[in-house]
Amino acid sequence: MHSFQVRTQQRNEFVEITDDVRRIIHGAQITHGLCVVYCPHTTAAITVNENADPDVVHDMLSWLNKAIPQQQPEFRHAEGNSDSHLKASLVGPSVALLVQGGNLVLGRWQGVYFCEFDGPRTRVVHVQMLPGA
């Protein structure tokens, strides 16, 4: 397993980590298999989405913040970040990606994102390579 840190600057933020994941794949020298990108934090997540137009990230964050506002009278969690836990659960803690010919298999416009919902913070991301046949 390989790990790296992500430093976020805002409470809600998507940080593209595609190049970090690619470096790990190339360093592992695995030509075919599966790459799992995992976030061990309950208020952050990992996703794959468009990386060509930054408005997509803006729109995703805008919708998540509108759908799950930071403060709601029903929230009971004492830390005041219930919205962050909900957003992280909706997006999910990991993605599984294919590796073919030593390269990450992504669509033309896709990128891998670390999703921060309770920043700014320094977070860790784990990448596990599973060789294939």
Q: How many domains does the chain have?
A: 1
Question: Where residue 11 sits, what CATH number does that domain have?
Answer: 2.60.120.460
Dihedral over alpha carbons 49, 46, 91, 119 (to 10 degrees): -110
The tens digit of pLDDT for each residue in 71-99 reads 888 888 878 889 999 999 999 999 999 99
pTM for the whole thing?
0.95
The tens digit of pLDDT for each residue in 29-55 reads 889 999 999 999 999 999 999 999 999
Contacts of 5 (CB under 8 A, 6+ apart): 122, 123, 124, 125
**What single string gives the DSSP state of each residue in 3-67?**
EEEEE--SSSEEEE-HHHHHHHHHHHT--EEEEEEE---TTEEEEEEE-S-HHHHHHHHHHHHHH
Domain boundaries, position 48: 2-131
Q: What tokens does 32 get? A: 């075919």
